[in-house]
């Protein structure tokens, strides 16, 4: 059982909303043992946030009770999608 979250790497204004919702979701009883996959989408767009920036902003290293992985991707080309699911 795992959760997949897709982050728009170009939307710096709403990343804080993503963070808030992510932590609410992970605190839910039904997801206590769920793994977490974060797709950093739109990595093909110039000036997008990097995977490192997104990881730092979402404070992913502070998540100790869930296995997590963040994967750069581009939904238009499919780049990174298979790697994330592996």
44 is in an annotated binding site: yes
83 is in an annotated binding site: no
67 is in an annotated binding site: no
Which residues, in sequence order, are bridge partners of residue 38? 5, 70
* Alpha carbon separation from 71 to 22, 36, 56, 76, 83 (Å, rounded): 16, 11, 14, 15, 8
Q: How many residues belong to the chain? A: 86
Q: Which residues make up each annotated binding site for GTP?
A: 41-44
Q: Which residues make up each annotated binding site?
A: 41-44
């Amino acid at each position: 059982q795992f959760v997949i979250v897709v982050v728009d790497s170009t939307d710096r204004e709403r990343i804080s909303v993503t963070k808030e919702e992510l932590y609410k979701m992970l605190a839910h009883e039904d997801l206590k043992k769920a793994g977490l996959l974060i797709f950093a989408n739109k990595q093909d767009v110039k000036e997008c946030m990097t995977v490192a920036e997104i990881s730092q902003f979402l404070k992913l290293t502070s998540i100790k009770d869930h296995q997590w992985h963040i994967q750069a991707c581009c939904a238009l080309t499919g780049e990174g999608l298979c790697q994330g699911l592996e």
